């Protein structure tokens, strides 16, 4: 399959940006062996954000030891810290630690920094203001960096003053201590009591980290440091050039021993499968074909329902469950309103399909008031014929992207999934809800409820959590396979995704290397799968749950049938409009 001129130009532009930003990073750091992934995506919003990010990373490598901070973050996450606020605090502390140092050497950075701060405020102000104390603290830090003043409540001012003191930081431990103190104070006050002090965090061993499924829980800030521990003997920090190239190419090379243990690893971290070995083999033979021929499917009800042992993944899944429930309670009124509204839209549409209609015809029941026309006109429509609309024969599947890229909004996706499921239950429509993610060869299909379960099953959506990668085309194919076997005539598939299919490729020793499932290749495959499913008579709706820059890919995958939910309060209206259209048109 060839690549279009437009895609080629986009790749060239991205490559040029990466080079420009790496050159800036190398120049500031003075280290031309430094290998950090530039933030190219933010360039779409503002070049100043991307360029200052490169300066900031280069400066931190120039004056501090990034690997030490990276390893602290890995260990903090290993002990159960929440990733988004921890990473935000770490970035803020890094920013303040390098601000004056790099500006003293390069005067032009001050102007770049101000413009970057202004762009971040313009882009993120509403989100940060709606958030917790960490978000308000970041707003104040940005305002201070623009003109030296800021407005905030007393408690936030106290935190900002402490943050600004990092401008005098002399070593990496100063930064680590501040990040840890901020997190324990503002995000999780009982962290030390429940999981350990900073000293205990730093004492986590490389052997412990090797057991930790770090790929599921880290973003770019900590990924490199974790990778170094996981891929080298005895926790060595050096990564050879061959390994770097494999990682860049989206591939991971595993040993024969790791391949043999893969199934047991999936069981340990995603829960036992509810299918027998024979059922799984039959499904894999039938569904894993074409570009997915080297893949496998794994169906489970999740680690919380059928776990092998209470490992770290089990503990994290429980914490995410509590966080999702807390988010639901905070938005309970809006959620109930959406469930009521969406449920009523569906009920009214289904009732309308069951009502009788009549029309004038040349046969049927005589209409007395028209008898005068007999012998006087050629109009033969003297009769009334009753037409009964089709029944409410509908079934729905809801499929949710549970890959690691959804981690920062998993509470929102859990709430959206619950609203959908509860509304369908209210309308009396049989439906199944599943999520998917991909780890190594396995695309894990996590079942939350089956088609004919009662409304209590809807609550299991609070268990939604995200990890690993996503092979969207295979997950869609597997879901449609089950939906197609349902007896109902009218079938609808609703997909909650971020428009970014992306999967690592596992290369075993002495085997052919399949194509990396990412970018244009993955988008085309997913869009092709959507068209194939629609060709089977199944309606497919994409509900976009991602970043605005990925809207184009979402549109390419789902065509005109996708909904962009900017605010949870509009969820029922936007999704209801589409579902009503499907119900009304399926005659």
In which element (H, E) is residue 394 found? strand 394-401
Asked whether residue 562 is assigned to any structural domain, the reply reads: yes
Question: Which residues form the domain of 480?
Answer: 311-340+392-585
DSSP, res 307:
-
As a whole number of Å, the end-to-end CA separation of the chain is 38
Is 321 in the same domain as 229?
A: no
DSSP, res 555:
H
Backbone dihedral angles phi then psi of residue 472, each to the nearest 5 degrees: -60, -45
CA dihedral 422, 424, 425, 428 (to 10 degrees): 160
Alpha-carbon span 414 to 462, nearest angstrom: 6
Identify which of 475, 467, 448, 447 has the alpha carbon closest to the alpha carbon of residue 540.
475
The 10 Å CB-count burial string (b at 16+, else e) for 146-183 is: eeeebebeeebeebbeebeebeebeebbbbbebbbebb
Alpha-carbon span 533 to 474, nearest angstrom: 12
Output the tens digit of pLDDT for each of the chain's 587 residues.
Answer: 333 444 434 444 444 444 554 554 445 445 444 444 445 455 455 677 877 887 888 888 888 988 888 889 888 888 888 888 898 999 999 999 998 888 888 777 888 889 889 988 888 888 888 767 899 999 999 999 998 888 888 889 999 999 999 999 989 999 999 999 999 999 999 899 888 899 999 998 876 766 554 444 433 334 334 433 333 333 333 334 443 443 444 555 555 666 667 888 889 889 999 999 999 999 999 999 998 988 899 999 999 999 998 887 888 899 899 989 999 998 899 999 999 999 888 888 776 654 455 567 667 676 666 666 666 666 767 677 655 444 458 899 999 999 888 887 889 999 999 999 999 999 899 999 999 999 878 999 999 999 999 999 999 999 998 888 899 999 999 999 999 999 988 899 999 988 888 886 665 555 555 667 888 889 999 999 999 999 999 999 988 866 777 788 888 899 888 888 777 777 777 888 877 777 776 65
Alpha-carbon span 224 to 57, nearest angstrom: 13
Asked whether residue 371 is assigned to any structural domain, the reply reads: no
CB 69 within 8 A of CB 172: yes
Asked whether residue 379 is assigned to any structural domain, the reply reads: no
Identify which of 388, 353, 338 has the alpha carbon closest to the alpha carbon of residue 582.
353
Angle, alpha carbons 21-23-29 (nearest 5°): 100
Is 183 in the same domain as 328?
A: no
Reading the block at residue 255, the tokens are 């040993």
Is 462 in the same domain as 557?
A: yes
Over residues 91-112, the pLDDT tens digits come to: 999 999 998 888 888 777 888 8
Alpha-carbon span 504 to 245, nearest angstrom: 13
Is 333 in the same domain as 185?
A: no
Over residues 455-508, the pLDDT tens digits come to: 999 999 999 988 888 999 999 999 999 999 999 888 999 999 888 888 866 655
Is 214 in the same domain as 72?
A: yes
Is 315 in the same domain as 195?
A: no
CB 160 within 8 A of CB 150: yes
In which element (H, E) is residue 131 found? none
Identify which of 125, 122, 123 has the alpha carbon closest to the alpha carbon of residue 139.
125
Give the domain CATH number at 498: 3.40.50.410
The whole-number pLDDT of residue 386 equals: 58
Reading the block at residue 424, the tokens are 């369908």
Q: How many CB atoms lie within 10 A of CB 433?
A: 28
Last residue of a domain, one of 208, 225, 248: 248
């Amino acid at each position: 399959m060839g690549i279009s001129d437009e895609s080629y130009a986009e790749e060239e532009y991205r490559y040029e940006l990466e080079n420009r930003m790496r050159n800036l990073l190398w120049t500031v750091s003075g280290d031309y062996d430094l290998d950090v992934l530039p933030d190219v995506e933010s360039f779409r919003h503002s070049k100043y954000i991307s360029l200052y990010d490169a300066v900031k990373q280069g400066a931190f490598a120039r004056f501090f030891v990034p690997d030490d901070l990276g390893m602290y973050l890995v260990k903090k996450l290993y002990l159960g810290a929440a990733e988004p606020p921890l990473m935000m605090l770490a970035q803020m502390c890094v920013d303040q630690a390098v601000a004056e140092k790099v500006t003293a050497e390069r005067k032009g950075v001050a102007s770049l920094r101000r413009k970057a701060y202004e762009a971040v405020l313009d882009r993120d102000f509403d989100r940060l203001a709606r958030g917790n104390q960490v978000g308000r603290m970041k707003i104040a830090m940005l305002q201070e960096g623009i003109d030296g003043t800021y407005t905030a409540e007393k408690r936030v001012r106290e935190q900002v003053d402490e943050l600004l003191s990092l401008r005098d930081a002399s070593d990496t431990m100063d930064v680590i201590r501040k990040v840890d103190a901020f997190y324990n104070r503002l995000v999780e006050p009982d962290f030390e009591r429940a999981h350990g002090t900073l000293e205990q965090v730093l004492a986590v061993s490389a052997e412990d980290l090797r057991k930790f499924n770090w790929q599921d829980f880290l973003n770019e800030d900590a990924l490199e440091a974790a990778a170094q521990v996981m891929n080298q003997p005895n926790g060595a920090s050096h990564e050879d050039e061959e390994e770097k190239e494999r990682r860049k190419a989206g591939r991971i090379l595993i040993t024969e021993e790791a391949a043999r243990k893969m199934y047991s690893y999936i069981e340990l971290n995603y829960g036992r499968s509810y299918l027998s070995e024979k059922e799984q083999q039959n499904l894999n033979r039938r569904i894993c074909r074409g570009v997915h021929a080297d893949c496998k499917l794994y169906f489970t009800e999740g680690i919380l329902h059928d776990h092998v042992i209470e490992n770290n993944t089990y503990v994290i899944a429980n914490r995410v469950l509590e966080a999702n429930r807390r988010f639901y309670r905070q938005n309970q009124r809006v959620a109930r309103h959406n469930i009521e509204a969406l449920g009523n839209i569906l009920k009214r549409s289904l009732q309308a399909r069951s009502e009788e209609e009549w029309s004038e015809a040349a046969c049927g029941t005589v209409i007395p008031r028209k008898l005068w026309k007999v012998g006087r006109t050629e109009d033969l429509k003297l009769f009334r014929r009753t037409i009964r609309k089709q029944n409410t024969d509908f079934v729905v599947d809801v499929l949710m992207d549970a890959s690691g890229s959804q981690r920062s909004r998993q509470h929102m996706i859990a709430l959206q999934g619950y609203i959908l499921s509860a509304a369908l239950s209210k309308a009396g429509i049989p439906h199944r809800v599943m999520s998917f993610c991909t780890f190594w060869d396995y695309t894990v299909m996590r079942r939350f409820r089956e088609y004919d379960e009662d409304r209590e099953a809807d609550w299991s959506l609070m268990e939604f959590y995200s990890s690993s990668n996503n092979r969207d085309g295979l997950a869609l194919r597997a879901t449609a396979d089950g939906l197609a076997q349902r007896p109902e005539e009218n079938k609808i598939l609703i997909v909650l995704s971020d428009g970014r299919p992306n999967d690592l490729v596992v290369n075993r020793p002495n085997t052919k290397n399949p194509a990396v499932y990412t970018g244009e290749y993955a988008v085309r495959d997913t869009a092709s799968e959507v068209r194939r499913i629609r060709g089977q008579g199944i309606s497919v709706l994409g509900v976009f749950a991602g970043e605005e820059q990925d809207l184009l890919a979402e549109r390419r995958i789902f065509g005109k049938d996708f909904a962009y939910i900017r605010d949870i309060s509009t969820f029922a209206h936007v999704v209801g409009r589409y579902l009503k259209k499907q119900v009304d048109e399926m005659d």
